[in-house]
Amino acid sequence: MASKLLRAVILGPPGSGKGTVCQRIAESFGLQHLSSGHFLRENIKTDTELGILAKQYIQQGLLIPDHVITRLMMSELESRRVQPWLLDGFPRTITQAEALDKICQPDLVISLNIPFETLKDRLSRRWIHPPSGRVYNMEFNPPQVQGVDDVTGEPLIQQEEDKPEAVAAKLRQYKEVAKPVIELYKTRGILHSFSGTETNKIWPYVYSLFSSKMASIGAKEA
């Protein structure tokens, strides 16, 4: 069902349900879901040059700079020039958006607007089992016994970055950095914003938008 012409971007703060929405779009419309987080983890795991560089920033508790993420994503996108895709987690900054333009301008950009309190709640309910990487959410998928991993019975921890005050700082930072990216795509007339507190209620509108976009691309190609 995919068109080789459709390239889309999904924007949204941490905890906005971006991953879930991307997965559904990819399954429904045949676009490749390209997640910057996934590529970053793969590069770190396989000790590539970029992976080693990114790991150094992470170990120092620093944000991975634009040029590292951009190089990583440019290399992935270069190899997919003739494929339909959906970008998740990139571009996050105006510098990244400008770099993306040099390869391909997106046809469609979705921005997920989730209330601050909802995001704070979702993110601060995350607990993890560090040895396995298993993640629990006290609302969506709580452990069978509070504070304990289902498989091993070992204690769960809440990471510093998931504590309410850290979450609030992370969300403020996202908003500040994302604003010029959102403005850029709004000016081009390709930004579509969806607001709500539940992914399942936002999804039908996203589905409808992609369906009509696919239909119009199909008509142009016919």
pLDDT tens, position by position, for the chain (222 residues)?
444 579 999 999 988 888 889 989 999 999 999 999 889 888 988 999 999 999 998 888 777 899 999 999 999 999 888 889 999 999 999 999 999 999 889 999 999 999 988 888 888 888 888 888 788 888 778 899 999 999 999 999 988 877 788 888 888 888 999 999 999 999 999 999 999 998 899 999 999 999 999 887 766 655
* Known binding-site positions for AMP: 36, 41, 89-92, 96
Q: Which residues, at least 6 apart from 21, have a Cβ–Cβ distance to it below 8 Å?
A: 10, 12, 110, 112, 199, 202, 203, 206
- Cα–Cα distance between 214 and 55 in angstroms, integer? 39
- Cα–Cα distance between 107 and 5 in angstroms, integer? 8
* Known binding-site positions for a ribonucleoside 5'-triphosphate: 15-20, 126, 135-136, 199
* Three-state SS at 82: coil
- Cα–Cα distance between 102 and 91 in angstroms, integer? 13
What fold characterizes domain 7-212?
A: Rossmann fold (3.40.50)
* Known binding-site positions: 15-20, 36, 41, 89-92, 96, 126, 135-136, 199
* Three-state SS at 212: helix
